[in-house]
Structure 1
């Protein structure tokens, strides 16, 4: 899921160079088979091209959207190819036009966002503000030295109205398969899946919905057409003929092409936010970064395969891993959405939720997400946390603020050390790096991330140093009229490098 789009230029160039070398130096007679040497290991090289897609921010006339773009420093740039095919450095975001779909714009004239700022140097974030309704998504491409680790964050503040809230999303790579547990068509809730096509050809996407009784019949059996370089919002409610469903799992796949997909959710009187896709189905699932003052947490899960899943629920806190009193386990029937409310889950301490098989011998993959509520009464706000994979090499989240930013690091297995780097701000400041130790079975929360003299928003990069797997999530909080508006972004590995196979001469393949 969310796999970074990698350029084939590096692979093709490397293979062409090696093939050419073999052809020029091949001996007149085939080499003896007995002298064959082991094939060299594949090289891991920086990517030369990264593509990212952002959904349309908001239809509210009072919305305020900040788009922040950043490439972390430290990755060696690819060497230019001798034939001049190497990608030139650049990181550009462009507007993706809006198109009608089920529950879409209804043909109304829409507004395009401002041209986002362009990253020119690794290590320095740039940001662009857009006020008012923006119903166009963004497509972006970074090349050369700006490609490895390129990250774009879109943060929208809607201070009032039915869809008020702080909506945050890390723009994602195009893909062909997405899972969204915690979707809903309940009364008072509006859930849209935004599909963005980055390519010059038509993409066709299918949206399947799974409820507590299994797959539901929808009104779009022929799929959703997403025109080239455009965004299509699809409202989930009208897709169902069977009535409202409180807890759903949405599954997006493509018949042709590829898309970016993210779910936007708004609940009357509760708030709104984006739900990013869950990590690929896995038997062991972690959902990081539940705020300490969460007043309501709902877990929604689905087992996509043919087997039921019995999951043990554990809470990884700052002091250790415990079984919450609200629920010890969850039974998930094959192909059906299961949910459980977890009241008073954190008890004043930030934590992450860990799901593992109750029977270690029965490893059934699942997808999962949390709906998290903070505040009480009319001052409530909502956010979502999807299951996420651990950071294997490096992950970055942009648009962090001097106040209201918290980074949760969870080592659900063995202890780990990670390097955490806060960049300079969009308007100045000095980067700062520290090494953080996360004890086994615990969550560490950092709230003092802002570097000295930072001005504007800054980026945070996490890199494992030693020990076991680490999951990470960033919570951004903005208090507006007493409402603790917040959004949570899980940190996904940036796939800044790719393995390039190393070819060697072997003319024995020509023998009859």
Structure 2
């Protein structure tokens, strides 16, 4: 098999908003009327981006594009991911930056969609091989926009990049936090920056180790050309090797999609996506039951230290990890702790909350290892938001998917729908009740008569917030190759205030 060096450039959601003048004066009596409650309406346009799949000549990548069936009809639309107009990729180490030596990939074809979605409710797929595949940018409109999701799944069978690497396409932004990266000698971690827009973006990369800032001038003012990508090896940004590093990506101008590709010479590789925005309470769902190593990495962006209480939410309730009930995280210093055999054979989720009542915002991620000896495989779980109205995992196979649902507060109920298959199959749905303070790990429903792959859509029904993650396992030669994707709200709907014109407000 050949390597895939693709950047599937991730996504922003463009919302079509309805505006107007709210009626606040009741005509005739001088009184007031209460504004009508806001309603949630489907978005009319979405864009998606993902990073380059791999550096190995043995990589094979599958792309899956999916939009859930809407509850009401909408205007016709399109959804597709096409090649970027330019696909220059730069390995930004000190010497190469100074010499401005860029590595070029093949010329892209921006007019040719790599994967096109024709209808909601049924996934579309495409495959790519080779290290010169270009970056992609995707856009969905009309009835295909609400909840449009894309997944990039890459298999590398051998070498330092070995592993099952999965990433859900995310929105371009201006600020990203990546705990659980590393500059250790055994690691080769790249920050992938991609720019979907027609003007150049300028980004800064800051690194924070256990003792604070890892100083470097090389990570400042990185130009990401219009509709292009840049790949930065983070160990070249500093002379200090550190097992646990937090990467902070910001933009001075423009916006980018950002994700870290972490490769370990012993444990394989996977994508590390950004942590949820800094918050005092975080949920990291979907720790596999057979995890042989779990390492928590946390970081405080602000000026105050944080004292965190750690709780493992399992099948029957919450427990404190023995010997690691609390974690002190110093301001602007990365803290890492090895939780070892945290799960003890039971799938779970990690809850971080203030131990002292102080609401100090933090970011966090887990580095999870499965297998033993030379049969180990690594995956990453960043802190994530709740499912909200709806969340989707686009690439699922007939076997190998596990859905983890956790309710960190009050009990909650969610509806899980398995879509039609990409090549055939009938959708099926099932409702799950998730107890307060527990994690429910289930084999999700599979479409009847499934052919090809399918998508899972999770919808909140009642109760408290539910957080979710999907683990996909594809065993190979005794290695439990796996990847975990968290499932925050897909942004398929937007809250629009009820409004109407009231010209009486113009009266004298």
Structure 1 equivalent of residue 88 of structure 2 = 98
Structure 2 equivalent of residue 279 of structure 1 = 276
Structure 1 equivalent of residue 158 of structure 2 = 160
The offset of 1:43, in angstroms, is 3.4
- 1:43 paired with 2:39, answer yes
Which of 130, 133, 139 aligns to 1:132? It is: 130
1:333-412 correspondence runs (5 A): 333-360=330-357, 362-412=358-408
The offset of 1:92, in angstroms, is 1.3
Which of 178, 196, 202 aligns to 1:180? It is: 178
The offset of 1:117, in angstroms, is 2.0
Structure 2 equivalent of residue 225 of structure 1 = 223
Which of 80, 102, 105 aligns to 1:107? It is: 102
Distance 1:3 1:233 in 2: 15
Q: What runs of 5+ residues in structure 1 fail to find an aligned partner? A: 23-29, 81-87
Structure 2 equivalent of residue 84 of structure 1 = none
Structure 2 equivalent of residue 194 of structure 1 = 192
The offset of 1:35, in angstroms, is 4.5
The offset of 1:447, in angstroms, is 1.5
CA 1:209/1:135 → structure 2, altered by over 3 Å: closer, same or farther? farther
The offset of 1:338, in angstroms, is 0.6
CA 1:158/1:470 → structure 2, altered by over 3 Å: closer, same or farther? same
The offset of 1:31, in angstroms, is 6.3
The offset of 1:107, in angstroms, is 3.3
- How many correspondences in the alignment? 488
Distance 1:162 1:226 in 2: 27
Which of 402, 406, 418 aligns to 2:414? It is: 418
The answer as to whether partners of 1:33 and 1:508 remain within 8 angstroms in 2 is: no
With 106-115 and 456-465 compared, the bigger mean Cα shift is at 106-115
Distance 1:148 1:35 in 2: 39
Distance 1:511 1:188 in 2: 73
The answer as to whether partners of 1:58 and 1:135 remain within 8 angstroms in 2 is: no
1:197-212 correspondence runs (5 A): 197-212=195-210
The offset of 1:273, in angstroms, is 0.2
The answer as to whether partners of 2:219 and 2:237 remain within 8 angstroms in 1 is: no
Q: Secondary structure at the match of 2:398?
A: coil
Distance 1:185 1:455 in 2: 42
CA 1:294/1:222 → structure 2, altered by over 3 Å: closer, same or farther? closer
Which of 481, 484, 497 aligns to 2:493? It is: 497
TM value normalised by structure 2: 0.91
TM value normalised by structure 1: 0.90
Distance 1:217 1:146 in 2: 45
The offset of 1:213, in angstroms, is 1.5
Structure 2 equivalent of residue 34 of structure 1 = 30
Q: Secondary structure at the match of 1:480?
A: coil
CA 1:135/1:364 → structure 2, altered by over 3 Å: closer, same or farther? farther
Q: Secondary structure at the match of 1:378?
A: helix
The answer as to whether partners of 1:297 and 1:373 remain within 8 angstroms in 2 is: yes
Distance 2:129 2:71 in 1: 35
The answer as to whether partners of 1:98 and 1:137 remain within 8 angstroms in 2 is: no
Residues 28-81 of structure 1: per-residue CA shift (max 9 Å, x gap): xx9668155333333321100011101111121111100000000024355x6x
The answer as to whether partners of 1:283 and 1:364 remain within 8 angstroms in 2 is: yes
Structure 2 equivalent of residue 83 of structure 1 = none
Residues 428-451 of structure 1: per-residue CA shift (max 9 Å, x gap): 111110111111111111115322
With 179-188 and 500-509 compared, the bigger mean Cα shift is at 500-509
The answer as to whether partners of 1:169 and 1:276 remain within 8 angstroms in 2 is: yes
Q: Secondary structure at the match of 2:450?
A: coil
1:266-305 correspondence runs (5 A): 266-305=263-302
Which of 122, 140, 148 aligns to 2:146? It is: 148
Distance 1:399 1:340 in 2: 32
RMSD of aligned residue pairs (Cα, Å): 2.4
The answer as to whether partners of 1:197 and 1:231 remain within 8 angstroms in 2 is: yes
